[in-house]
Amino acid sequence: MTGAAGYIGSALVRALGSGGVVTTDQAAPAAVIGNLAYPKFARSLVTPEVGLVFHLASLVSGGAEQNFELGTKVNLDATRDLLEACRLAGHRPRFVFASSIAVYGGVDEIDDDTPPAPRISYGAQKLVCEILIDDYSRRGFIDGRSLRLPTVMVRPGGANTAVSGWASAIIREPLAGRDYVCPVRPDTTMACISIGKAVQCLVHASRIEMPAARRTLLLTGIPVTAQEMWNAVRSTARGKVRFEPDPAIQAIMDAVPKATRSARAAQLGFPHSKDIREIVREYEEAALAHHG
């Protein structure tokens, strides 16, 4: 598993248990330490014992937009090196890739028939990786599947460079007793899924057979506004939220999908979040379990 020390990766490690899981992050169990941006390291990871690869490591949206070269190295080149490691291993491992709805752009409602049209580098890099995974699968080098993830909530701890990081902070910070300045308008809408449901989807993807001709799958993300996020925690929060839109962040957020709906994902048994209250409840229960 790459990216195992990250937000989604660490939750996935907990769900799978550490037995038999080898990671590439120092903070994660059973680690093989190295930098995926170096081709020799990436190409050394898939040995004959590896039957399943979860590829979660990436430089997220804001970071990839700020540093094009690094984004290309981490998001695109490292993925290709990892795919080459699978090809050279010669035993067709299963390959689960965490893609993103950033492959779309400028369309509010996304469904299974919406064509990708990325408007940021991160989305373009993810789309190229999906195509590579399709081709490596067609050639019999891997058994690949790519999941287009909506915004995953609620991220604990500090923010990362994702432009959608506010969607977690607007819940996390006031619940922790800290005031938060939200950098988007109250009506700004995101397509969302909880971390618990996202992990369930990744595990499910690793266990089912995917149709050979359609290796990429959109996950359903429910539409939630910034105001609805704040309303969901307002009664119990000890901190306050005020809205001060940042023009640069707002411009990006105005171009991202507001909701994603996948009948195909439902047919294949992939879960989705019901509403923002369920997402907040999952976060609070996980926080309570962690501190308890």
Which residues are the active-site residues?
A: 122
Phi-psi sector, 96: left (phi>0), alpha (psi -120 to 50), beta: beta
Q: Which H or E run includes 98?
A: strand 94-100
Contacts of 112 (CB under 8 A, 6+ apart): 218, 262, 263, 264
- Hunting for tokens 């307002």 — which residue is that? 234
The CA–CA distances, whole Å, from 166 to 10, 253, 262 equal 20, 11, 25
Handedness of CA 102, 105, 106, 108 (dihedral sign): negative
- Per 3-state DSSP, the chain is made up of helix, strand and coil in percentages (nearest 5) of 40, 15, 40
Looking at residue 37, its amino acid is: A
| 194 three-class SS | strand
